Amino acid sequence: MSPEKKGQMPVEINQKWCKACGLCYALCPKKVLEGDEWGKAFVAHPEDCIKCQTCEIMCPDLAVKVVALRKATKEDE
């Protein structure tokens, strides 16, 4: 698995769909995600992401996507 390019985020958050419930950053085991002033999620520590997908699976609004995981599998193929 190649390391992420500099500046590329492992997790993408669809800000239009995010409703600031806080589930993704409360349950993230590595605290990669944090809430902004409105409570909406953003990637604060991209280097800590272990791609466990907890944020993606727990998001009730389907607004979170672990893109790093998908890129890695595509390269492997």
Partner 1 sequence: MAEAWDFLRTDKMPHIWCPGCGHGVMMNALLRTMAKLDVNKDDICVVSGIGCASRLPGYLDFNTLHTTHGRALAFATGIKLANPRLKVIVVSGDGDATAIGGNHLIHAARRNMDITLICMNNNIYGMTNGQYSPMTPTSMLATTAPYGNLERNFDLCKLVEGCGANYVARATAAHPRNISQYIEYALTHKGFQFVEVMTQCPTYYGRRNKLGGPVEMINSLKQNTILNTAAAKLPPEKLEGKIQIGEFVKKEELTYLDRFDAMVDRITGGVKP
- Contacts to partner 1 by CB under 8 A: 16-17, 19-23, 26-27, 57-63, 65
DSSP annotation of 46: G
Give the separation between CA 61 and CA 22, rounded to whole angstroms: 11
CB of 6 to partner 1, least distance (A): 26
| Residue placing its CB nearer to partner 1 in the complex, 29 or 60 | 60
Q: For residue 30, what is the enclosing H or E element?
A: none
| Residue placing its CB nearer to partner 1 in the complex, 9 or 21 | 21
Give the separation between CA 39 and CA 77, rounded to whole angstroms: 37
| Residue placing its CB nearer to partner 1 in the complex, 58 or 72 | 58
